[in-house]
Structure 1
Amino acid sequence: MLEPTASAHAAMIKLRRDRIWRWRCQWSVVTLAAVGLVLYNGAANVLLLRSPRCRERAPAPASLTPVPATTCEPCADTPPPSAQLDDEPLSRFDLRLGRWDTSRNYRLYDYAAVGDSYADLSAERRVSLATQSSVERLHELLRIAAHWSGPMSVAVFVTGDELRLLCGFATWLLHCQPEVYARLALHVATPAERQGVHGRLPHWAKDCSSQPLPAGERSPETIQWRSRHPYPQNHMRNLARKNCHTPFVFLVDIDIVPSKGMAEALDVFLGRTPKCPLCAYVVPTYELDRRVATFPANKSEVLRLSRHKLAIPFHRKVFIYNQFASNFSRWEASGGNESAETHVSHNVTNFELLYEPFYVAADTVPAHDERFLGYGFTRNTQVYEMFMIGYEFCVLSPIFTIHWGLQSRRYRPLWREKQNERNRKTFETFKRELFARYRKDPLRLLRRPPPPKKT
Structure 2
Amino acid sequence: ILTWNWFPSLSFQSEVSWIPNKHYSGIYGLMKLTLTKALPSDLSKVIVLDTDITFATDIAELWGIFRKFTDKQVIGLVENQSDWYLGNLWKNHKPWPALGRGFNTGVILLYLERLRRIGWEQMWRLTAERELMSMLSTSLADQDIFNAFIKQNPVLVHQLPCFWNVQLSDHTRSEQCYTEVSDLKVIHWNSPKKLRVKNKHVEFFRNLYLTFLEYDGNLLRRELFGCPSQASPETLQAALEELDEDDQCYDFRRERLTVHRVHLYFLQYEYTPTEDDTDVTLVAQLSMDRLQMLEAICKHWEGPISLALYMSDAEAQQFLRYAQASEVLKNRKNVGYHIVYKEGQFYPVNLVRNVALKNANTPYVFLTDVDFLPMYGLYDYLRKTVVQLDMAHTKKALVVPAFETLRYRLSFPKSKAELLSMLDMGTLYTFRYHVWPKGHAPTNYAKWRTATTPYKVEWEPDFEPYVVVRRDCPEYDQRFVGFGWNKVSHIMELDAQEYDLMVLPNAFMIHMPHAPSFDISKFRSSSSYRNCLNTLKDEFHQDLSRKYGSAALKYLTAQRNI
User: Does TM, scored on the shorter chain, surpass 0.5?
Assistant: yes
Conservation of the 8 A alpha-carbon contact between 1:235 and 1:370: yes
Q: Does 1:367 align with 2:450?
A: no
Number of equivalenced pairs: 354
1:309-349 residue CA offsets vs partner (Å, 9 max, x unmatched): 22111111111111011111100133xx6xxxxx51x1103
Partner of 1:178: 330
Aligned with residue 417 of structure 2, among 300, 320, 339: 300
Partner of 1:381: 489
Q: Which has the higher contact order (CA 8 A, sep 6+)?
A: 1
- Judged with a 3 Å threshold, the aligned counterparts in structure 2 of structure 1 residues 86 and 348 are, in CA distance, closer, same or farther, namely farther
Give the drift of 1:380: 0.5
Aligned with residue 279 of structure 1, among 396, 415, 418: 396
Conservation of the 8 A alpha-carbon contact between 2:273 and 2:279: no
Aligned with residue 377 of structure 2, among 240, 246, 261: 261
Aligned with residue 104 of structure 1, among 258, 261, 281: 258
**Rounded Cα–Cα distance in structure 2 between residues aligned with 1:235 and 1:432:** 21
Partner of 1:244: 360
Secondary structure of the structure 1 residue equivalent to 2:435:
coil
1:339-389 residue CA offsets vs partner (Å, 9 max, x unmatched): xxxx51x1103x211101001010222110111100111000011011111
Structure whose CA Rg is larger:
1
Conservation of the 8 A alpha-carbon contact between 1:122 and 1:151: no
Secondary structure of the structure 2 residue equivalent to 1:402:
strand
**Rounded Cα–Cα distance in structure 1 between residues aligned with 2:447 and 2:501:** 15
Aligned with residue 332 of structure 1, among 426, 431, 449: 449
Q: Does 1:134 align with 2:287?
A: yes
Secondary structure of the structure 1 residue equivalent to 2:481:
coil
**Rounded Cα–Cα distance in structure 2 between residues aligned with 1:446 and 1:405:** 34
Partner of 2:269: 115
**Rounded Cα–Cα distance in structure 1 between residues aligned with 2:558 and 2:464:** 20
Aligned with residue 392 of structure 1, among 480, 497, 500: 500
Conservation of the 8 A alpha-carbon contact between 1:112 and 1:186: yes
- Judged with a 3 Å threshold, the aligned counterparts in structure 2 of structure 1 residues 368 and 412 are, in CA distance, closer, same or farther, namely closer
**Rounded Cα–Cα distance in structure 1 between residues aligned with 2:114 and 2:425:** 91
- Judged with a 3 Å threshold, the aligned counterparts in structure 2 of structure 1 residues 82 and 439 are, in CA distance, closer, same or farther, namely farther
**Rounded Cα–Cα distance in structure 2 between residues aligned with 1:243 and 1:404:** 26
**Rounded Cα–Cα distance in structure 2 between residues aligned with 1:402 and 1:268:** 21
- Judged with a 3 Å threshold, the aligned counterparts in structure 2 of structure 1 residues 417 and 252 are, in CA distance, closer, same or farther, namely farther
Conservation of the 8 A alpha-carbon contact between 1:128 and 1:249: yes
**Rounded Cα–Cα distance in structure 2 between residues aligned with 1:398 and 1:159:** 39
Conservation of the 8 A alpha-carbon contact between 1:292 and 1:310: no
What letter matches 1:354 in structure 2?
Answer: D
**Rounded Cα–Cα distance in structure 2 between residues aligned with 1:430 and 1:251:** 21
- Judged with a 3 Å threshold, the aligned counterparts in structure 2 of structure 1 residues 278 and 67 are, in CA distance, closer, same or farther, namely farther
Give the drift of 1:163: 2.0
**Rounded Cα–Cα distance in structure 1 between residues aligned with 2:275 and 2:347:** 29
Q: Does 1:187 align with 2:338?
A: yes
Q: CA RMSD in A?
A: 4.1
Partner of 2:457: 348
- Judged with a 3 Å threshold, the aligned counterparts in structure 2 of structure 1 residues 333 and 271 are, in CA distance, closer, same or farther, namely closer
Secondary structure of the structure 1 residue equivalent to 2:323:
helix
Give the TM-score taking structure 1 as reference length: 0.67
What letter matches 2:351 in structure 1?
Answer: H
Give the drift of 1:178: 3.2
What letter matches 1:332 in structure 2?
Answer: R
What letter matches 2:468 in structure 1?
Answer: V
Partner of 1:444: 554
Conservation of the 8 A alpha-carbon contact between 1:122 and 1:128: no
**Rounded Cα–Cα distance in structure 1 between residues aligned with 2:435 and 2:492:** 20
Give the drift of 1:250: 0.2
Structure 1 residues not aligned, in runs of 5+: 1-36, 60-65, 73-80, 194-228, 338-342
Partner of 2:351: 235
**Rounded Cα–Cα distance in structure 1 between residues aligned with 2:287 and 2:463:** 24
1:32-59 residue CA offsets vs partner (Å, 9 max, x unmatched): xxxxx99994464467658377994699
Conservation of the 8 A alpha-carbon contact between 2:278 and 2:383: yes
Structure 2 residues not aligned, in runs of 5+: 1-112, 129-141, 147-158, 168-183, 198-205, 222-226, 232-254
Conservation of the 8 A alpha-carbon contact between 2:375 and 2:508: yes
Secondary structure of the structure 2 residue equivalent to 1:69:
strand
What letter matches 2:356 in structure 1?
Answer: A
Give the TM-score taking structure 2 as reference length: 0.55
Secondary structure of the structure 2 residue equivalent to 1:112:
coil
Secondary structure of the structure 2 residue equivalent to 1:264:
helix
- Judged with a 3 Å threshold, the aligned counterparts in structure 2 of structure 1 residues 176 and 397 are, in CA distance, closer, same or farther, namely closer
Give the drift of 1:302: 1.2
Partner of 2:303: 150
Give the drift of 1:420: 4.1
Secondary structure of the structure 2 residue equivalent to 1:325:
helix
- Judged with a 3 Å threshold, the aligned counterparts in structure 2 of structure 1 residues 86 and 279 are, in CA distance, closer, same or farther, namely farther
- Judged with a 3 Å threshold, the aligned counterparts in structure 2 of structure 1 residues 188 and 41 are, in CA distance, closer, same or farther, namely same
